[in-house]
Amino acid sequence: MISSYIGYYSLILGFILSIILLIYSIFCFKKNNKKINQNIFSILFLQFFTVVLSFISLIYSFIVSDFTNETVYNNSHTTKPLFYKITGTWGNHEGSLLLWLLVLTLFIFLFIIFSKKQPTKYRLLSVFFQQIIICGFFLFLLSTSNPFNLLFPAPKEGLGLNPILQDPALAIHPPILYLGYVGSSIIFSASLASLIQNNINSKWAKHIKKWIQTAWFFLTIGILLGSIWAYYELGWGGFWFWDPVENVSLMPWLCLTALLHTIIVLEKRQLLKSWTLILSIATFTLSMSGTFLVRSGILNSVHTFANDPARGVFILLFLFFLIILSLILFFIYQEKEATPQKKFFLVSKETSILVNNWFMMYFLSVVLIGTTYPIFLEVMVDEKISIGPPFFNKLLIPFLTFFLIFMSLGPKLNWIKDNYKNIKYSRIGLFLICILISFYLIKNTSTEILFTSILGGAALYLLLTTIREFLVNKHNISQTISHFGFSLFVLSILLNSLFSSEISANMKIGQEVIYKKEQIKFLSLETHKKENYKSVIANFEIIDKKKNSIYLYPEIRIYNQPNILTSEADIKSTIFFDKFLVINLLKGEEIFNVRYQTKQFMIWIWISTCLISIGGILGIFKRL
Amino acid sequence: MRIIKIILLIFFLILSFQKLLIANDNSMIIDKISKNLRCLICQGQSVYDSQSDFALSMKLLIKNKIENGESEDQIYDYLKNQYGEWIVYDPEFDKKNLILWAFPLLLFIFGGILIYKKVFIN
């Protein structure tokens, strides 16, 4: 009860501070002081503190199961383990928005500390723009999604958290993803500030690059965690479904990746200023629309757990406001081309980065239209269509092949101007050999052999090129690791999708099935009782060709509050394959549907994504 | 010498192709079709991935139809008639979906022109 009051009023205080900051930063801006007024630091810190306080009070309400708080009542239960009581704080709409706000205030506070070398006016303006966003989120939270609504009389017991959210990976997935999303807000604010101050130059690029890399790193890891969770929790062995909610997290990632490359051109050659700005604005807009699309419930998706259409309207209006504001600023302040444009040469690093952006924007447009088109079609002509993996595969994979080839050539080129002759014939030979290798690896598995072997060959080629780069040329390790990771990523997805196999059978205890020379024995069944669920654990023995046996323990959980049945897969990972087994209850108590899958190179998908993001984090610490 | 190698490569490629076109059995086609169908009673799952009654009966239906010698397209057409376009994950290439298919490709061409202009006309 008390904690709800504390939380609520500190939110209001934070909102007031936000308005004060809006006015005060403009006031300081007009005064032309050399240094930033200390008060700005103090108020920013105070604001961060109010949100932290508010967040802690919400966590506290969850821990003590204070059901006078409506959010707690809707999403918690006394029998839930403490860990999930805490993580349940951001497993719902109100709490997750409070987390958004927390990260927003944290980032601007860090930004102002770490930008001391930048011009004062630029920093003040960044604070101003970030406060506009923060102000909007405060308003959103207080008016439509207050986490501290009180219930009277207090209910005895809460409604509980959706069991599939009660999971360690999903506990940290939202905070990490938000660090990425919200990180893009700083890039947005800083770009607008820089635009007005006419400050877009290589010094600025160098400074904002660290923030781009930070946001990008968290976004990558955030998406990875979501995929890993989907892999073992949703229980059908896939890790990416081209589901709308996944797509909305991929869109800012694609845009940010483009920005990550463009900013280097700006840093090294002072080119592509407007394009950098557009990408910064677009990245944040996509992050915001992501939140809008997920939270409004427009999307038909497995992941939409908490949503409310009325709230969508607010985010949508706010989004339009921000877009229009940035567009107006863009057209007013866009630098008139006084100096003659520097030239781009066909064979040069900057052109290869342009090519990267070209493909990134194409991938983005495919994901964007694939995600939003069904919504428009339904609204306009009232027809429902589904857009799934076949659509994305058709439009993405052919282009991915070329992208991989450019990726192996581009980084080797020099700035300004390079020569065709530096591309040696031996490389073409190597490329053909790669295609041949991949062809022989996969010739018996695919139906579209030509496409697949060229794609595999291109990925293999990139892999070899980056390994060579790593050995010969050590000056750009972060890039080499990321690119190596990407080639490994494409290869492992390809091999995974081609070689994975599965069998589905209905089995009783004691029965066995033989599949591809493997014996699958259903040995026994045990029942356990936990605090918030009843669990049925099966024991399977898998005996392979060489008579080695492994045991798998898939589980069915019957949660008490809410009353939901979930299947927990059991997975044994090795470096070559995952053995994945999941059971489902069929009618009656005795027969189970058993799905046994061998997923080749699964672990390499996770490892390669980690490598991609490690490249990003190395970039941050390079020459700090 | 290099030319001979390349010719050999191409020759091998074509040779292996012949073998491939034959290797295709029913279960592969069933999997392919069911991956492309939305399980109507589930949330965001394909028929292939789902274990619901709907999905199971759907897989049986596809199997029967294939054994009766119907082609992939015939099966899709049949299902679209029964359940509407919503059931297939692969949107059709027709007038109403024109923007869907054309937008990314047009954007790609447009981007290409922009880059071309930047590099060659300056």
Residue with tokens 């699309």: A293
Task: Tell me how close the Cα of B78 comes to any Cα of chain A, in angstroms.
Answer: 16
A295-309, A370-384, A503-517: segment of lowest average pLDDT: A295-309
pLDDT tens by residue, A407-461: 888 777 777 777 766 666 777 888 888 888 888 877 776 667 777 888 889 999 9
Contact A121, A197 (CB under 8 A): yes
Amino acid type, A572: K
CB atoms within 10 A of CB B85: 19
Percent of residues, chain A, with pLDDT higher than 90: 37
The DSSP annotation for chain B comes to -HHHHHHHHHHHHHHHHHHHHH---HHHHHHHHHHTBB-TTSSS-BTTT--SHHHHHHHHHHHHHHHTT--HHHHHHHHHHHH-GGGBSS---SSTTHHHHHHHHHHHHHHHHHHHHHHH--
Q: Any CB–CB contact under 8 A between A241 and chain B?
A: yes
Secondary structure of A59-119 in HEC code, one letter for each residue: HHHHHCCCCCEHHHHHHCCCCCCHHHHHHHHHCCHHHHHHHHHHHHHHHHHHHHHHCCCCC
| A521 vs A547: CA distance, rounded Å | 13
Q: Which residue, among B17, B47, B58, B89, would best test binding to A if mutated, counting the most A CBs under 10 Å from its CB? A: B89
Task: Tell me how close the Cα of B105 comes to any Cα of chain A, in angstroms.
Answer: 8
Report the run of H or E that residue A35 belongs to, with start and end: none
| A492 vs A441: CA distance, rounded Å | 13
Nearest to A21 by CA among A56, A45, A52: A45
Relative to beta strand A577-585, strand A592-600 is antiparallel
Q: Taking phi first (over 0 means left), then psi (-120 to 50 degrees means alpha), and beta for anything else, what does residue A276 get?
A: alpha
pLDDT of residue A250: 95
A82-86, A513-517, A598-602: segment of lowest average pLDDT: A513-517
Q: Is A301 helix (H, G, I), strand (E, B) or coil?
A: coil
Residue A276 has pLDDT above 50, yes or no: yes
| B45 vs B39: CA distance, rounded Å | 6
| A293 vs A103: CA distance, rounded Å | 20
A454-463, B15-24, B45-54: segment of lowest average pLDDT: B15-24
Q: Any CB–CB contact under 8 A between A398 and chain B?
A: no
Q: Considering CB atoms only, which of B51, B89, B96 is closest to A584?
A: B51
Q: Considering CB atoms only, which of A238, A355, A387 is closest to B49?
A: A238
Q: What burial class does residue A119 get, using C-beta atoms within 10 Å of its C-beta: 0-12 exposed, 13-18 middle, 19+ buried? A: middle
**Upper half-sphere CA count for residue A407 (Cβ side, 13 Å):** 29
Q: What angle do CA A546, A552, A554 make, to 5 degrees?
A: 150
Q: What is the mean pLDDT of residues A549-556?
A: 90
Q: Any CB–CB contact under 8 A between B2 and chain A?
A: yes
Q: Do A385 and B19 touch (CB under 8 A)?
A: no
Residue A358: list chain B partners with CB under 8 A.
Answer: 108, 111-112, 115
Q: Any CB–CB contact under 8 A between A390 and chain B?
A: yes
Residue A502 has pLDDT above 90, yes or no: no
Percent of residues, chain A, with pLDDT higher than 70: 93
Contact A75, A158 (CB under 8 A): yes
Residue B13 has pLDDT above 80, yes or no: no
Task: Tell me how close the Cα of A435 comes to any Cα of chain B, in angstroms.
Answer: 10
A115-129, A361-375, A496-510: segment of lowest average pLDDT: A496-510
Residue B3 has pLDDT above 60, yes or no: no
Q: Considering CB atoms only, which of B43, B89, B96 is closest to A388?
A: B89
pLDDT of residue A191: 94
Q: What is the pTM of this model?
A: 0.90
A151-155, A310-314, B90-94: segment of lowest average pLDDT: A310-314
Of residues A302 and A440, more confidence is placed in A440
Written as six digits, the tokens of A157 are 């017991």
Written as six digits, the tokens of A122 are 């630029």
Question: Bridge-partner residues for A573, per DSSP?
Answer: A578
Confidence of residue A133 (pLDDT cuts 50, 70, 90): very high
Report the run of H or E that residue A153 belongs to, with start and end: none
Q: Any CB–CB contact under 8 A between A361 and chain B?
A: yes
Q: Any CB–CB contact under 8 A between B85 and chain A?
A: yes
* Window 98-117 of B, Cβ < 8 Å to A: 99-101, 103-105, 107-108, 111-112, 115
Q: What are phi and psi of A157, to 5 degrees?
A: -140, 150
Written as six digits, the tokens of A418 are 């390079």
pLDDT of residue A43: 94
Residue A425: list chain B partners with CB under 8 A.
Answer: 2
CB atoms within 10 A of CB A615: 24
The full set of domain ranges for chain A reads 1-166, 501-603
Q: Do B118 and A354 touch (CB under 8 A)?
A: yes
CA dihedral A445, A448, A453, A458 (to 10 degrees): -130
Q: What is the mean pLDDT of residues A106-120?
A: 91
Q: Do B84 and A390 touch (CB under 8 A)?
A: no
Nearest to A465 by CA among A410, A416, A422, A414: A410
Q: Any CB–CB contact under 8 A between A396 and chain B?
A: no
Residue A450: list chain B partners with CB under 8 A.
Answer: 17
pLDDT of residue A422: 60
| Distances, alpha carbon A469 to alpha carbons A126, A481, B81, in Å | 39, 10, 55
* Window 41-60 of B, Cβ < 8 Å to A: 43-46, 49-51
Nearest to A608 by CA among A460, A489, A456: A489
pLDDT tens by residue, A530-550: 878 888 899 999 988 888 888
Q: Do A443 and B36 touch (CB under 8 A)?
A: no
Nearest to A571 by CA among A606, A534, A527: A606
Contacts 24+ apart (CB under 8 A), B78-86: B79/B37, B83/B40, B84/A384, B85/A383, B85/A384, B85/A385, B85/A386, B86/A384, B86/A385, B86/A386, B86/B38, B86/B40
Written as six digits, the tokens of A128 are 């101003």
Residue A307 has pLDDT above 60, yes or no: no
The full set of domain ranges for chain B reads 26-90, 93-122
Residue B16: list chain A partners with CB under 8 A.
Answer: 439-440, 443, 449
Residue A562 has pLDDT above 90, yes or no: no
pLDDT tens by residue, A239-272: 888 888 889 999 999 999 999 999 999 988 888 8
Contact A607, A481 (CB under 8 A): no
Q: Is A236 helix (H, G, I), strand (E, B) or coil?
A: coil
Q: What is the mean pLDDT of residues A324-340?
A: 78
pLDDT of residue B20: 46
| A273 vs A252: CA distance, rounded Å | 20
Residue B112: list chain A partners with CB under 8 A.
Answer: 358
Nearest to A574 by CA among A607, A596, A529: A607
pLDDT of residue A260: 94
| Distances, alpha carbon A491 to alpha carbons A62, A253, A394, A404, in Å | 44, 20, 18, 11
pLDDT of residue A377: 87
Q: What angle do CA A467, A573, A547 make, to 5 degrees?
A: 115
Q: What are phi and psi of A273, to 5 degrees?
A: -65, -50
Confidence of residue A304 (pLDDT cuts 50, 70, 90): very low
| Distances, alpha carbon A467 to alpha carbons A236, A319, A462, A464, A479, in Å | 34, 43, 8, 5, 12
| B78 vs B72: CA distance, rounded Å | 10
Q: Any CB–CB contact under 8 A between B91 and chain A?
A: yes
| A138 vs A54: CA distance, rounded Å | 12
Question: Bridge-partner residues for A557, per DSSP?
Answer: A535, A566
| A158 vs A71: CA distance, rounded Å | 9
pLDDT of residue A17: 95
Report the run of H or E that residue A319 belongs to, with start and end: helix A309-333
Question: Bridge-partner residues for A69, per DSSP?
Answer: A150
Q: Which residue, among B8, B18, B57, B100, would best test binding to A if mutated, counting the most A CBs under 10 Å from its CB? A: B100
CB atoms within 10 A of CB A26: 14
Confidence of residue A156 (pLDDT cuts 50, 70, 90): confident
pLDDT of residue B23: 42
Q: What is the mean pLDDT of residues A302-322?
A: 70
- Does domain B26-90 fall under CATH 1.10.8.640? My reply is yes
Q: Considering CB atoms only, which of B16, B100, B111 is closest to A443?
A: B16
Confidence of residue B8 (pLDDT cuts 50, 70, 90): low
Written as six digits, the tokens of B13 are 């490629």
A85-89, A171-175, B6-10: segment of lowest average pLDDT: B6-10
Q: Do A439 and B100 touch (CB under 8 A)?
A: no
Q: Do B111 and A362 touch (CB under 8 A)?
A: yes
Report the run of H or E that residue A271 belongs to, with start and end: none
Task: Tell me how close the Cα of A275 comes to any Cα of chain B, in angstroms.
Answer: 12
pLDDT of residue A355: 92
Q: Do A362 and B2 touch (CB under 8 A)?
A: no
Give residues with Cβ within 8 angstroms of A373, minimum separation 6: A385, A387, B97, B99, B100
Residue B16 has pLDDT above 80, yes or no: no
Nearest to A347 by CA among A411, A413, A428: A413
pLDDT tens by residue, A223-243: 999 999 888 887 677 888 888
Q: Any CB–CB contact under 8 A between A391 and chain B?
A: yes
Q: Which residue, among A265, A362, A426, A516, would best test binding to B if mutated, counting the most B CBs under 10 Å from its CB? A: A362
Mean pLDDT across chain A: 86
Q: What is the mean pLDDT of residues A307-323?
A: 79
pLDDT tens by residue, A592-608: 888 888 888 999 999 99
Confidence of residue A309 (pLDDT cuts 50, 70, 90): low
Q: Any CB–CB contact under 8 A between A388 and chain B?
A: yes
Q: Which residue of B has its CA nearest to A417?
A: B119
Written as six digits, the tokens of A621 are 């610490």
Q: What angle do CA A218, A224, A228 make, to 5 degrees?
A: 145
Relative to beta strand A565-568, strand A501-507 is unpaired
**Upper half-sphere CA count for residue A433 (Cβ side, 13 Å):** 11
Q: What is the mean pLDDT of residues B84-112?
A: 89
